[in-house]
Amino acid sequence: MPSPVVPSRAQPADVLQSVFGHDTFRPYQERIVRRLLNGQHAVVIMPTGGGKSLCYQLPALMRDGVGIVVSPLIALMEDQVAALRQRGVSAAVINSGQSTDERRAVEQQLVDGTLDLCYVAPERIMRPRFQRLLHCATVALLAIDEAHCISQWGHDFRPEYLQLSELRTAFPEVPCIAVTATADAPTQQSIVQRLHLDDDALFVAGFDRPNIRYTVVPKRRNARTQLLRFLNREHPHGAGIVYCLSRKRVEQTAEWLSAQGRTAVPYHAGLSDEQRAAHQERFLHADDLVVVATVAFGMGINKPDVRFVAHLDVPKTLEAYYQETGRAGRDGEPASAWMAYRLADIVRMHRFIDDGAANDFSRRQHQKLDALFGYCESTACRRTVLLGYFDETYPHARCDNCDNCLQPPHTWQGTEAAQKVLSCIARTEQRFGAAHIADVLTGSNTKKIRQHGHDALPTHGVGDNRPKRAWRSIIRQLVAKGLIRVDMAGYGALQLDPSCAPVLRGETAVELRRPSKAPVAPAAADSERPSHGPERDLFDALRETRAALAKAQEVPPYVIFHDKTLWAMVEKRPATLADFRRLPGVGDMKQKRYGPDFLEALADF
């Protein structure tokens, strides 16, 4: 039988309204839901915050039996289960953090047929004992979350996911859905093939997150000061994530931000389990906390009101960048993705790849890193470049929500400057990195220059009309244009690509970007919620009501209602339970459970 929370003879739109509190489906959702209800399969590529989970949660409620959801992340499983229970759905999770008695109780519910949805880790679902349990139960559907983990071309490949293809063999009649936010074309095809599905099962809902502003800046010597300037200018309040490459850098940055007056905590694999859990729990419940983290943090974080994601070090690929920046603005409100980078970061990442065996996988990773570097150096609309990487064409010439659109970079005729760089690399025998080339061009008198006799070269001091920072920018752009290659085996030595010959001969002109010193303008006022005044005061009062209810139930506040629902209360001012029911995200159960408390708060205000 379908779930008790589903009205008899209900249609998908009825369940969407009564359980989830939404009047309309988002693009692709209804098609995917109906496909699963008809017993067919689906692979869904949908942006973070685009409604992937509803694509399997809703049909699981309408089909006979229990929906089995495979997820690699305990935090995400627990978060989704808590949110479903708030809506009156019978949901549970089985994970390693539970006691034996707790796991057995859920397993009994599974067999008895009293669960609507059950979340498990990939390692557990493939165990023979759990397979026997599934065969004793009625399985409504199989959902595989974070499905890019299946593919070796994905940015977060996990070997244990490979076995999930056996589920299709073990349950051939059960509809299967695999969902992820990030998968380029090769990764998409790999998922389809590994799960033995047909191409018509693939749904790509698009990758654009229009509410996110993308900004990339060249990293200066004190990148933390650049970060703080960005935070003070665009996000003086609000929760966010700052990514760093190393544990040491995480600790230092969190401590430094705290000293500057921002509430910040570190998160990395070197902390104890208790510390990581405490910092993550604090982040989920706080409205104004910055987590400084390695990539160990973020997957499974369902917090909708993260206002910014900043990278002090470059991620490994554009897929990783897209996945990590997608943790901002899941509520659809304005959010920022800010990144500082330098050529040395790219070189270090290439060298890290080369530490492994040279094969198709490593070559593919080099190509992905080159694509990331091209994104950083591009003068085009960031959104156009990012979506183009995922084979999606942005329908407009500009997005007006990235640094390159808001402040188009000025270009200049840089052929002569390019020739100086190329000539200097040739005369230094293509054995030195960008910093040394910039030193030679500016006429520096370093020990290294004297040791190699480079102070006697014709190119020594030929570029003393520009600062070293400008020459490093020119070198980065020439690398991005493919005129210069970076020798990873030679510790980042710059080498000439054959394509540079026409430039050296003066046959091909080179346009270069002139960096802008002006900060990116803040978000337009009409896209932001009021920061003061009566409306803000009412919103804060409603947020206090939500916080008290969340504390009493020991759940994150957003599990009760997103900020968007609270703002709808501010705008609509419901006076009756019927009015309250019509707010987005309410639904039948939340109307009964929370309507009186929020109506009282509105009346008191």
Residue-wise pLDDT for 282-298, tens only, equals 998 888 899 999 976 76
Indicate whether 477 pLDDT > 70. yes
Residue-wise pLDDT for 213-225, tens only, equals 999 998 988 899 9
Indicate whether 445 pLDDT > 70. yes
| CATH match for 212-403 among 3.40.50.300, 2.30.110.20, 3.90.1170.50, 3.30.479.30 | 3.40.50.300
Q: Which of 57-66, 383-392, 514-523, 587-596 has the lowest mean pLDDT?
A: 514-523
Please give the pLDDT value at position 527: 45
* Cα separation, 269 vs 296, whole angstroms: 6
Match 């369902």 to its residue by tokens.
302
Best CA proximity match to 464, nearest among 437, 486, 445, 444: 444
Residue-wise pLDDT for 130-164, tens only, equals 999 999 999 999 999 988 888 766 556 677 788 88
Q: Does domain 531-604 have CATH number 1.10.150.80?
A: yes
A 10 A CB-CB count for 80 gives 23
Best CA proximity match to 241, nearest among 217, 262, 221: 262
How confident is the prediction for the chain on average, in pLDDT? 88
**β-strand partners of 116:** none
Length of the chain: 605
Best CA proximity match to 483, nearest among 409, 415, 558: 415
Quick check: helix, strand or coil at residue 266? strand
* Cα separation, 103 vs 100, whole angstroms: 5
Measuring CA to CA, how many Å separate 241 from each of 91, 120, 154, 276, 590?
Answer: 29, 27, 23, 14, 30
Q: What is the CATH number of domain 12-204?
A: 3.40.50.300
pLDDT class for 10, splitting at 50, 70, 90? confident
Q: Enumerate the domain spans of the chain.
A: 12-204, 212-403, 410-514, 531-604
Fold of 410-514: Arc Repressor Mutant, subunit A (1.10.10)
Q: Which of 32-46, 323-337, 480-494 has the lowest mean pLDDT?
A: 480-494
pLDDT class for 526, splitting at 50, 70, 90? very low
Indicate whether 1 pLDDT > 80. no
Report the predicted TM-score, pTM, of the whole model to 2 decimal places. 0.76
Please give the pLDDT value at position 525: 34
Do 212-403 and 12-204 have the same topology in CATH? yes
